[in-house]
Amino acid sequence: MPVLTVGDLDLHYEQAGSGPSVVLVPGTGARGRTWWLYQVPALVAAGYRVLTVDNRGAGSPHTGPLTVGALVNDLALFVERVAGGPCRLVGSSMGAHLVQELLLSRPDLAVQAVLMASRARPDALSRALTAAEKQLYDSGVTLPPGYAAVARAMQNLSPRTLADPQRAQDWLEIFELSPAGDAGGRAQLDLDWDTDRRDAYRAITTPTLVVSFADDLVTPAPHGRELADCIPHARYAEIPDAGHYGYLEQPDAVNDAVLAFFKEFP
């Protein structure tokens, strides 16, 4: 797997296809490979060069403190050095937050942006969830894999997915075989998102699509709608029957929305 060296850190990435570049940025604790099942093939087939990156703290060992600024700087360097300059950016959850901040600090690097499962400000539940995840990790307690898989499914998937016996079982097996949480992912939990950025995002000038998932418990759809309302001229799409992992649950709907948006600004 190729790497981009940033100081003493190697950021792992993968790429496929040719054409205009699209950089896909994953969420907390996730790696770039999460995009390869559905989004990368669809974008490559549509004529794009697609790059996926492992954020600092995922894929590369990282135990020290992390800052939003450091991860945004990593993303800016990746766009400059690997993507080759201004490109389209797609992020989910934490990845979307990083893209949002890049649109403010380095708008020259973004042609278009897609923000999935994101928000403009925290709320009581998001603060409590982050605090609880940190407490669990720091306690040293390891949940039984079966229990952890069920909890993860209920938190991140839609009721429709969970009501389908075969799909639910498939997801549970995936979660049990790929448990969440490591030292790098723990470091990402310390990122300071505890700021209301609604006024700041009114300065974004990059054409932006905000995608929310109707059954998302982690980042409820009204928060995505509010984010879109903050960004001048932003488009908004809400995908039904999808939870926080909506880009994996409803990939066709997500890919259609992203590709249609890209075609608006060829």
Residues recognised as catalytic: 93, 216, 244
Residue 166 backbone dihedrals phi, psi, to 5 degrees:
-70, -45
Residue 40 backbone dihedrals phi, psi, to 5 degrees:
-60, -50
Question: How buried is residue 75: exposed, middle or buried, by Cβ count under 10 Å (0-12/13-18/19+)?
Answer: buried
Q: Strands 110-116, 87-92: parallel, antiparallel or unpaired by DSSP?
A: parallel
**Residues facing 110 on adjacent strands:** 87
CA gap 107, 171 in Å, rounded = 37
Residue 22 backbone dihedrals phi, psi, to 5 degrees:
-130, 125
Taken in order 26, 10, 12, 99, is the CA torsion positive or negative? positive
At residue 177, the 3 state secondary structure works out as: helix
**Residues facing 51 on adjacent strands:** 15, 23
CA gap 233, 223 in Å, rounded = 17
